[in-house]
A and B are shown apart, each in its own frame.
Chain A
Amino acid sequence: MKRMHLMRTITLLLCAILIMLSFTACSKPVESPAPAETPQEEPQEATEKTPEDFTGTLTFWHFNNDEGPKLAEAFMAKYPNVVVETQITADTDLAYQNKITSAIRAGSGMPDVFAAENAFVKRFVNLPGGYANISAAPYHAETLVGRNIPYTVDIGKDNSGNIKALSWQACPGGVGYKRDLALEYLGTDNPDEIAAMLSTPEKILETARNLKQASNGKVKLFVGTEDLYKIYVGSRTQPWVKDNKLMIDPKMMEFVDIAKTLREEGLEGGIRQWTPAWSAAVADDEHVAYAIPTWAIQWVVAVNAGDEAEAGRWGIATPIPYYEGGTWAGVSEQSQNKELAWEFVKFLATDADHLRDWAKATGDFVNHLDIVDELMNDSDFVNKTVDQNTYQVYGPMVDKIDGGLITQYDDQMRVAFLNIMQTYLAGNINKEEFLQEFKDQIQADITDLIIE
């Protein structure tokens, strides 16, 4: 009897402790420091310091193994007494985003600086405890970004208008095409003439049909409809979400219609983006065009085209202004070394010498207006992959990009829209069902959104 009593007491005690622990864990975030407007350790004004004066080690998280280490190397080359430890986590199945979210929630383990790409940067600039507010003292980011392309600065701001992250790139987009196929089947490889052939949905369809006829059905205009999605989504006039309401821009329905026609008439390759088949098709003789924003010349064309990339097989036309992609970086709220972290972010986004070197070394389209002007007028600055001065090609589109189009929901919208559209394109649902299914999915994904 006594033993039973003891056992019961122990069991009750254990349960009570566990329940208390669970509620403690629930309320743990309350105890976490609120996202401070001013950092815990205020960095010193660094204007008088030379790069050699900075010492220490920074941790830097990035999602791309091609870019992250190079950014760190560039910083270490100029700041010889600083070590940047880069950790790359690919965002496959949202691994990178979940890693950051978990570390923020845990209140420890965050790096000093972390990068975010266009698809999810808006979530992190608005996530409490993520990026430090670099509009505030002692950073005063606004005073340094006067020569950065404005839309790139806007995207790095949170919903209150504070700058949280900065970018070094602008990503206007064009249509990349294989010159040899274009010349053979469309009669020209001139970028302006190709742009004219693709400037409206009607002209895209006409060009795709001409191409099919000229090649006896062997060659298709676009590798897949998802490449067209990039163009259309980047050329909308309203964001996916406005005043907490789902907005389906007319451009998106225009895209659905043209994608359906292209699919039904066999005018596109049907290959989904980022699949091995999509990468392999860069080097084939069956697909002419891809959506190629600035960064994709290097990371889609050059890396997949093999030796032909050097031969200038590809050209870039700019029929419809749009943009896609870009990477931002900011100082982590949890960083214990904010002065150095800020120096790194500042270097990446505003150091004109570095940005010039970076553009020349990687072919990237940097977002510093002075460098853009300089390289647009540099006759020697020719990208070997496309045999064009990419700053002359993309530069005129920079003013047309609206940073306000980006919302924190864009990635969820993209995934839902493109997945459900596959069922529509396969002919298993009609357009109304597609739209309803998309709205239902978004309502399930983003429960607070108002959907009409």
Chain B
Amino acid sequence: MISKKIRKDHNGYIFITPFFIILSIFVIYPILYSIAISFTKWDGSIIPPEFNGINNYKKLVNDAFFRRSIRNTWIMWLGCIIPQMIFGLGLAVFLSERKLKGKSFFRWVYYLPNLVTMASVGALVFFLMNWPAGSVNRMLMTFGIIDEPYNFLENVFAARATISITLWWMWFGYSMIIFMAGIKAIPEEYFEAARVDGASKWQVFWNITLPCLKPIILYQVVTSVIGGLTMFDVPYVLTQARGNPQATTLTMVMYLYNTTFANYNFGYGATIGVGLFVIVMIFVAIAFRLINKNSAHD
């Protein structure tokens, strides 16, 4: 019989104290500090922050650059996540075929871009797409596709597409690995039963693989939303910090960084940070709701 009495000594608190100390110093304190300075005007110097009421928040609501940065971030994220999911899933299904030879090699090759740091990839793509002497321009001219070098990074669509494709290239291998793990976890009996019933490969995919992978897809989308909303490195390096052309590749974190560290507007930078925090929290809450709904449904 299990005793109903719970031990009430407080030794447990000692063991969890280090975690709370670290959490307080590195997470809670910076958050509270950022919130506090978001109500101030401060250039980051030794002159104390000047209380500014809710002026920074009023400005944030009407800030065209902030709105632009939200829109840009979503457009570039969608341009990345949709092909990332399609390719990741497609390749995972394809490479999970039992009879296929050389699977490990392809898994390794597709995952490789994810191991390179984002800043390095950004710099590499900058040199590839550079005008007028970038490798892509030279290649297109050699093959006679274009007569004059084209300034890809100054065209809104091409610049955003370059960033989305770069991020897709970096992340589809990662998605593929996660999907493959998900496929492996689907009981083999399901597939066997389908084969016995004479189901085609497409029917197996549509009626077994995809429904069973739904939680994994959702997990990928949720983690990608968080990563996507904090997009920074690739557009920063590729557009040399400015989000060219006309701030159409400026992301929310780039705007925060530029405001704080390039323009020394620490107070308003913190306000942007709080705005970003709220946006991320809203979408994470929606995503978790979807996940929980999905788990309950299962």
Contact, CB under 8 Å: B242 / A426: no
Please, which residues of chain B bring their CB within 8 A of the CB of A444? 63, 65, 259
* Cα-based distance from A388 to B156 in the complex (angstroms): 47
Please, which residues of chain B bring their CB within 8 A of the CB of A441? 247
Within 8 Å of chain B (Cβ to Cβ): is A257? no
Please, which residues of chain B bring their CB within 8 A of the CB of A29? 45-49
Pick from B33-41, B202-210, B280-288 the stretch touching chain A.
B33-41
CB proximity to B under 8 Å, residues A14-31: 14, 18-19, 21-23, 25-27, 29-30
Within 8 Å of chain A (Cβ to Cβ): is B8? yes
* Cα-based distance from A412 to B40 in the complex (angstroms): 22
Pick from A180-188, A243-251, A370-378, A415-423 the stretch touching chain B.
A415-423
Binary flags per residue of B241-261, CB closer than 8 Å to A gives 1, else 0: 110111100000000001101
Given A270-B132, A412-B262, A428-B154, A25:B45 Cβ within 8 A? no
Within 8 Å of chain B (Cβ to Cβ): is A399? no
Contact, CB under 8 Å: A26 / B131: no
Contact, CB under 8 Å: A26 / B242: no
Within 8 Å of chain B (Cβ to Cβ): is A98? yes
Given A419-B240, A426-B154, A447-B265, A21:B47 Cβ within 8 A? no
* Cα-based distance from A350 to B288 in the complex (angstroms): 67
Chain A binding surface, main DSSP class: helix
Contact, CB under 8 Å: A105 / B28: no
Binary flags per residue of A399-421, CB closer than 8 Å to B gives 1, else 0: 00000000000001001100110
Given A19-B32, A422-B154, A446:B263 Cβ within 8 A? yes
Contact, CB under 8 Å: B242 / A419: yes
Within 8 Å of chain B (Cβ to Cβ): is A117? no
Closest chain A residue to B148 by CB distance? A266
Binary flags per residue of B145-161, CB closer than 8 Å to A gives 1, else 0: 00000010011100000
Within 8 Å of chain B (Cβ to Cβ): is A144? no
Within 8 Å of chain A (Cβ to Cβ): is B106? no
Within 8 Å of chain B (Cβ to Cβ): is A429? yes
Please, which residues of chain B bring their CB within 8 A of the CB of A45? none
Min Cβ gap B264→A in Å is 7
* Cα-based distance from A3 to B240 in the complex (angstroms): 55
Within 8 Å of chain B (Cβ to Cβ): is A129? yes
Closest chain A residue to B262 by CB distance? A94
Within 8 Å of chain B (Cβ to Cβ): is A80? no
List 10 A-B pairs, Cβ < 8 Å.
Answer: A14-B20, A18-B28, A27-B48, A29-B48, A94-B261, A101-B264, A128-B47, A428-B155, A437-B246, A447-B265
Contact, CB under 8 Å: A128 / B246: no
CB proximity to A under 8 Å, residues B61-76: 63-65
Pick the contact of B151: A93, A105, A129, A426 (CB < 8 A): A426
Within 8 Å of chain A (Cβ to Cβ): is B133? yes
Min Cβ gap A450→B in Å is 16
* Cα-based distance from A419 to B248 in the complex (angstroms): 13
Given A29-B46, A104-B45, A107-B46, A419:B32 Cβ within 8 A? no
Within 8 Å of chain B (Cβ to Cβ): is A150? no
* Cα-based distance from A428 to B258 in the complex (angstroms): 24
Binary flags per residue of A117-135, CB closer than 8 Å to B gives 1, else 0: 0000001000111000000
A-B pairs with the 5 shortest C-beta distances?
Answer: A426-B154, A423-B245, A129-B46, A426-B151, A22-B32
Within 8 Å of chain A (Cβ to Cβ): is B117? no
Min Cβ gap B173→A in Å is 28
Within 8 Å of chain A (Cβ to Cβ): is B29? yes
Within 8 Å of chain B (Cβ to Cβ): is A271? yes
Pick the contact of A423: B35, B244, B264 (CB < 8 A): B244
Contact, CB under 8 Å: B64 / A440: yes
Within 8 Å of chain A (Cβ to Cβ): is B53? no
Please, which residues of chain B bring their CB within 8 A of the CB of A32? 46
Contact, CB under 8 Å: A105 / B44: yes
Please, which residues of chain B bring their CB within 8 A of the CB of A30? 48
Pick the contact of B45: A14, A26, A101, A270 (CB < 8 A): A101
Contact, CB under 8 Å: B36 / A26: yes
Within 8 Å of chain A (Cβ to Cβ): is B24? yes
Binary flags per residue of B133-175, CB closer than 8 Å to A gives 1, else 0: 1000000000000000001001110000000000000000000
* Cα-based distance from A270 to B153 in the complex (angstroms): 14
Within 8 Å of chain B (Cβ to Cβ): is A138? no
Contact, CB under 8 Å: A419 / B46: no
Please, which residues of chain A bring their CB within 8 A of the CB of B47? 29, 128
Contact, CB under 8 Å: A428 / B46: no
Please, which residues of chain B bring their CB within 8 A of the CB of A101? 44-45, 264
Binary flags per residue of B69-108, CB closer than 8 Å to A gives 1, else 0: 0000000000000000000000000000000000000000
Within 8 Å of chain B (Cβ to Cβ): is A311? no
Binary flags per residue of A320-350, CB closer than 8 Å to B gives 1, else 0: 0000000000000000000000000000000
Contact, CB under 8 Å: B46 / A423: no
* Cα-based distance from A240 to B29 in the complex (angstroms): 40
Within 8 Å of chain B (Cβ to Cβ): is A196? no
Given A422-B245, A428-B155, A428-B245, A23:B36 Cβ within 8 A? yes
Contact, CB under 8 Å: B46 / A105: yes
Please, which residues of chain A bring their CB within 8 A of the CB of B179? none
